A and B are shown apart, each in its own frame.
Chain A
Amino acid sequence: MDAVVVVAQVAGAGGAEKFINALSSGLALGAIYAILALGFVIIFKATQVVNFAHGALAAVGAYFTVYFATVLNVPGRFLEFLPYTAQWILSAALAVLATAVVGMIVERITIRPMIGEPLFAVAMITLGLDLIIRTVTNDFMGNQARGLNDPWGADIVEIGLLRVAKTQIVTMIVAVVAMLLLAWFFRSRMGIAMRATAFDQEAAMAQGISVGKVFAVAWAIGAALAAIGGIFSSMAPRASAGLTPFTALIVFRAFPAVIVGGLDSVTGAIVGGLLIGMAEVFAGTYLATVSWLGVGFSGIVPWLFMMLILLVKPYGLFGTEEIRRV
């Protein structure tokens, strides 16, 4: 970070402004990555499944939002007395719920029968699921971009030097709320059951914890978080046009966040997400003028960052280190 401050000072006039704005949009992008990474980590921790269909679930969430908010207008059509913002938020919440249900169905049909089978096979199944879900969604959605009609649009708030998009503020608020809810969840009865299952599945079963239920809940939460991430990544300023068939690919950009944090750490997912988001935005802000790096260098910064971290900490920043006697 120090280095970045130095760069900011070197940039001279407008340097502070540039820096603050990069910081805020880095945090907002990081919040999206953190939410996506969290969903991924929760599914991995509870079920040991690497869910390659996470991006597809994110797209499904955004698509449901498009459908509920702009096509069907539910639940807004029954609640016309509410302001549009509230109506839209309810549609988005409904979309998140619907995606959670999709996640549970996917788990029940494709993952549950595979309990006890090699994890590699299960990971391949999720890869296939990713293609299937994306194809089906694209079929409904068509190839053109679909706007989410969110009430904030491209509005910008100016606070002193800081110019920040309203959607970014909303992203950060939602991320914080989601994390607080998760923190609460992990102390609830179901959450404790999930942590117990993640730690020792057989011992958890011996206590009477229903592992199937834990798996279903983990997939529901994971899918809901994917949906939230998908919704915010189809909004301005990330994607001014809205949801496109490429939305699902955002998760591939959140993947370094998961790895940096350490595949099985909830804290790691949050820290990793924020770090990767910042790295990407700062690279975009300060390295765009370095001509020999070429255009779009910021896109690979997350991956470079991930490789650097892995060189020093092979299990990520917060991952459980495998202890092996030699």
Chain B
Amino acid sequence: MLEVANLEVVYNDVVLVLRGLSLEVRDGQIVALLGANGAGKTTTLRAITGLLDIHEGDITKGSVTLAGERIDGKDPSDIVRMGIAQVMEGRRVFAEMTVDENLRTGAVTNNDAASVKGAYERVMEMFPVLAKRRKDQAGFLSGGEQQMLAIGRALMAAPKLLILDEPSLGLAPLLVQQIRDIIVDINKQGTSVLLIEQNANMALSIADFGYIMEVGKVVMDGDPQKLLSDEDVQEFYLGLHGEGERKSFREVKHYKRRKRWLS
């Protein structure tokens, strides 16, 4: 449904951040996009959702298509209306507003009162914590609750594709598991998911397909099992040594091993 082809993004006319990135999310899939800091994951998200403009970024080459229709260059609100919702990195809930009001901001593009109500009830069912704190200011929620609010807010738009940017960031391991289960749940209810993560273990454990990007392009893709068993992924993303043992820092010799990215 979502297809990103040969995308090139430049910030401030000089900083080349994406260098021909291509990826695809098929209907009903969970796709993981992994990469280290500065690989261009968030830029990819901005390019898809139309938020590059306010960061002085431009798509200079390539295209983004949703179900066959070009969406690069469209307004963010149009893109949301076409069915792509996002959960931004760092949650970004409206701290001064109540939980209910936060959820209502997610539904601004939806003019059909009945479907807004339906989405609201679904969110309340999925996140009992939010249902308990509906009238509380979002700023007083805990980090995990805020993350759930951010996800719930995105779901209020009843999206066909949900993009999550580092939903596990700064959360305790137990909460990360909970968020992971929620993502699986959302996917089961018929929403495709593009999961942008640094936490490779978590992302690959639920994904149908995975991409690994480095300095602005995809260096490896494939089945999550294949990625998990790859020596380089294990070493650089899972922190394991080739044989699955913990690595001893005495043996670290940078010049000995180079990433090969043979896929």
Number of residues from A at the complex interface, CB < 8 A: 18
Contact mask for chain A residues 193-218; partner B; CB cutoff 8 A; 1 contact, 0 none: 10110011111111111100000000
Contacts of A205 in B (CB 8 A): 51, 54, 76-77
A-B pairs, 10 with minimum CB distance: A208-B80, A208-B109, A203-B92, A208-B77, A210-B77, A196-B105, A205-B76, A199-B94, A207-B105, A196-B94
A residues at B contact (CB < 8 Å): 116, 189, 192-193, 195-196, 199-210
Instruction: Tell me whether A208 and B54 are in contact in the complex, defined as CB-CB below 8 angstroms, given that A195-B96, A196-B97, A203-B94 are known contacts.
Output: no
Closest to A187 in B: B101
- From A200, A202, A209, give the contact of B108 (CB < 8 A): A209
22 of the cross-chain contacts (CB-CB < 8 Å) are A116-B56, A189-B108, A193-B105, A193-B108, A195-B94, A195-B101, A196-B105, A200-B94, A202-B92, A203-B92, A203-B93, A203-B94, A205-B51, A205-B77, A206-B92, A207-B80, A207-B106, A207-B109, A207-B153, A208-B85, A208-B157, A209-B105
CB distance from A214 to the nearest CB of B (A): 10
Contacts of A201 in B (CB 8 A): 54
Contacts of B153 in A (CB 8 A): 207
**Complex Cα spacing A195 to B92, Å:** 14
B171 within 8 A of A: no
Q: Interface SS of chain A: helix, strand, loop or mixed?
A: helix
**Complex Cα spacing A206 to B106, Å:** 9
**Complex Cα spacing A202 to B88, Å:** 10
**Complex Cα spacing A200 to B80, Å:** 17
Contact mask for chain B residues 80-109; partner A; CB cutoff 8 A; 1 contact, 0 none: 110001101000111111000100111011
* A207 B108 Cβ-Cβ under 8 A: yes
Contacts of A206 in B (CB 8 A): 49, 51, 76, 80, 86, 88, 92
**Complex Cα spacing A70 to B104, Å:** 45
B75 within 8 A of A: yes
Closest to A210 in B: B77
Other 8 A-B pairs with CB < 8 A, given A204-B105, A205-B54, A207-B109: A116-B54, A193-B105, A199-B94, A200-B94, A205-B76, A206-B51, A206-B88, A209-B108
CB distance from A98 to the nearest CB of B (A): 28
Closest to B156 in A: A207
Closest to B93 in A: A203
Contacts of B85 in A (CB 8 A): 208
Which of B49, B79, B80 has its CB near the most chain A CB atoms (within 10 A)? B80
Contacts of B49 in A (CB 8 A): 206
**Complex Cα spacing A86 to B49, Å:** 50
**Complex Cα spacing A49 to B92, Å:** 23
* B76 A208 Cβ-Cβ under 8 A: yes
**Complex Cα spacing A209 to B107, Å:** 9
- From A192, A196, A202, A209, give the contact of B51 (CB < 8 A): A202
Instruction: Tell me whether A189 and B51 are in contact in the complex, defined as CB-CB below 8 angstroms, given that A195-B94, A210-B75 are known contacts.
Output: no
Which of B51, B54, B80, B94 has its CB near the most chain A CB atoms (within 10 A)? B94
Closest to A205 in B: B76
CB distance from B113 to the nearest CB of A (A): 10
B31-65 with Cβ < 8 A to chain A: 49, 51, 54, 56
* A200 B76 Cβ-Cβ under 8 A: no
CB distance from B4 to the nearest CB of A (A): 18
Contacts of B81 in A (CB 8 A): 208
